[in-house]
Amino acid sequence: METKDMIKIEKYFSTHDIDSVADWVEEAITIKKNPLGYKEYGQNKTIAMLFFNPSLRTRLSTQKAAVHLGMNVIVMNFNGEGWSLEYNDGTIMDQGTSEHVKEAAQVVSQYCDVLAIRAFASLESKEDDYSEKVIKSFVKYASVPIINMESATAHPLQALTDAMTITEHMTKKRPKVVFSWAPHPKPLPQAVANSFVEMIKRMDVDFVCTYPEGYELARHITEGVTTTHDQEAALKDADFVYVKNWSSYADYGKVLSTDTSWKMTAKKMELTNNAKFMHCLPVRRNVVVDDEVLDGANSLVIEQANNRTYAAQLVLKKMLE
Ligand code: CP
């Protein structure tokens, strides 16, 4: 008989690939207690990790997770080291692109058993980004399972980590979780925000999302979510405060506000129920959040980063079993 932890997954493209958030979180926490207890899963298997963008946590934690499972790891920084890829069909490739994703995805698939890809939003074309042109092209042509290590619109490994971290630290049945926009000088993708909101909607929490006017996420993401432009009202009695910047979805990819009054401060955290502070990292100190909060006893950011390993290990294990 098949049990819940024996269900194999073919892709981890978004949080929608999780059948039960509660079961996955529980299993990730179990893996964390004995990460080296699953060595046989990845014996003689290889993961190829392709990075079109920089990374610290995703790169190292996914590699560590694969090693825990006994896998071999191939890592490639595609930008600058790989051929420039063409994604459109029927193109006369006499311009900047040197190789079509059709060949690239099939070729890479021969070298690995799992393919993990990081390809951020361009923030130039909402249509291209929200159609997930890069990662969906790999999904279309690859013959091995694919893991999204942050695509244009989603960061499901981070979201699984965040669900795990909240579950580990909740001290009441239905905690209040506040997700707050914060300022940032550069335009950032909506991927982390999208996946966090999608994940938290599936958890039994009191959830509020707060951001300035013009920073509404896509309607399908925030459907059914309590949203407000009043950050201080949102923070009242919060048990978890998750802070993240994202660029405008409506005025696509633009920085509409750098209003420093949205920065998370120790004074604002006093409005909460002694809330835990969360951020996916990397974070710009004293722009997004004050040192005092980030370095404070309630900051979970380092634990969050640690949990990235176990979230990735769970996803890989589910692909290998
Ligand atoms: N949170 C996160 O994805 O970190 P990296 O960009 O360093 O991988």
The per-residue pLDDT for range 86-141, each reduced to its tens digit, is 999 999 999 999 999 999 999 999 999 999 999 999 999 999 999 999 999 999 99
Q: What is the pLDDT of residues 12-59, one digit of tens each?
A: 999 999 999 999 999 999 999 999 999 999 999 999 999 999 999 999
Kindly tell me if the per-residue pLDDT of 5 is higher than 90. no
Average pLDDT over residues 54-80: 97
Find how far residue 22's CA is from the centre of its chain. Answer: 18
- Of the two residues 275 and 80, the one the predictor is more confident about is 275
The angle formed by the CA atoms of residues 275, 56 and 62, to the nearest 5 degrees, is 90
| Rounded CA separation 301/264 (Å) | 14
Residue 156 known to bind ligand: yes
- ipTM of this model? 0.99
Right CATH for 11-154+308-320 from 2.40.50.140, 3.40.50.1370, 3.30.420.40, 3.40.1710.10: 3.40.50.1370
Residue of 42, 23, 10 whose CA lies nearest to 160 = 23
Domain ranges of the chain: 11-154+308-320, 158-305
Residue of 67, 158, 142 whose CA lies nearest to 108 = 142
| Rounded CA separation 204/73 (Å) | 36
Does residue 84 contact residue 96 with C-beta atoms inside 8 Å?
yes
Residue 321: pLDDT band (50, 70, 90) is confident
Percent of the chain with pLDDT over 90: 96
Residue of 105, 100, 45 whose CA lies nearest to 74 = 45
Going by alpha carbons, the residue nearest to atom 7 of ligand 1 is 56
- What was the pLDDT predicted at 117? 98
Q: What is the pLDDT of residues 168-178, one digit of tens each?
A: 999 999 999 99
Half-sphere exposure of 84 (CA within 13 A, CB side): 7
Atom of ligand 1 nearest to the CA of 305: 1
Per CATH, domain 158-305 is 3.40.50.1370: yes
- What was the pLDDT predicted at 80? 85
Cα 309 to ligand 1 centroid, rounded to whole Å: 12
**Average of per-residue pLDDT values in the chain:** 96
Percent of the chain with pLDDT over 70: 98
Kindly tell me if the per-residue pLDDT of 2 is higher than 60. no
Q: Among 62, 147, 150, which residue has the most ligand 1 atoms within 8 Å of its CB, making it the best to mutate?
A: 150
Average pLDDT over residues 158-164: 98
Residue 264: pLDDT band (50, 70, 90) is very high
- What was the pLDDT predicted at 10? 87
Going by alpha carbons, the residue nearest to atom 4 of ligand 1 is 57
- What was the pLDDT predicted at 198? 98
Same fold, 11-154+308-320 and 158-305: yes
Residue of 183, 190, 177 whose CA lies nearest to 216 = 190
Q: Among 53, 57, 161, 300, which residue has the most ligand 1 atoms within 8 Å of its CB, making it the best to mutate?
A: 57
Cα 180 to ligand 1 centroid, rounded to whole Å: 19
Cα 61 to ligand 1 centroid, rounded to whole Å: 9
Kindly tell me if the per-residue pLDDT of 1 is higher than 80. no
- What was the pLDDT predicted at 287? 98
- What was the pLDDT predicted at 3? 40
Q: Among 58, 147, 246, which residue has the most ligand 1 atoms within 8 Å of its CB, making it the best to mutate?
A: 58
- What was the pLDDT predicted at 6? 52
Q: What is the pLDDT of residues 90-103, one digit of tens each?
A: 999 999 999 999 99
Residue 184 known to bind ligand: yes
Cβ < 6 A, ligand 1 pocket: 55-58, 150, 158, 280-282
Atom of ligand 1 nearest to the CA of 155: 3
Half-sphere exposure of 262 (CA within 13 A, CB side): 25
Q: How many CB atoms lie within 10 A of CB 293?
A: 24
Residue 9: pLDDT band (50, 70, 90) is confident
Residue 137 known to bind ligand: no
Residue 202 known to bind ligand: no
Cα 154 to ligand 1 centroid, rounded to whole Å: 12
DSSP assignment string, 135-204: HHHHHHH-SS-EEESS-SS--HHHHHHHHHHHHHH--SSS-EEEEEE---SS---SHHHHHHHHHHTTSS
Q: What is the pLDDT of residues 265-296, one digit of tens each?
A: 999 999 999 999 999 999 999 999 999 999 99
Residue 157 known to bind ligand: yes
Residue 314 known to bind ligand: no
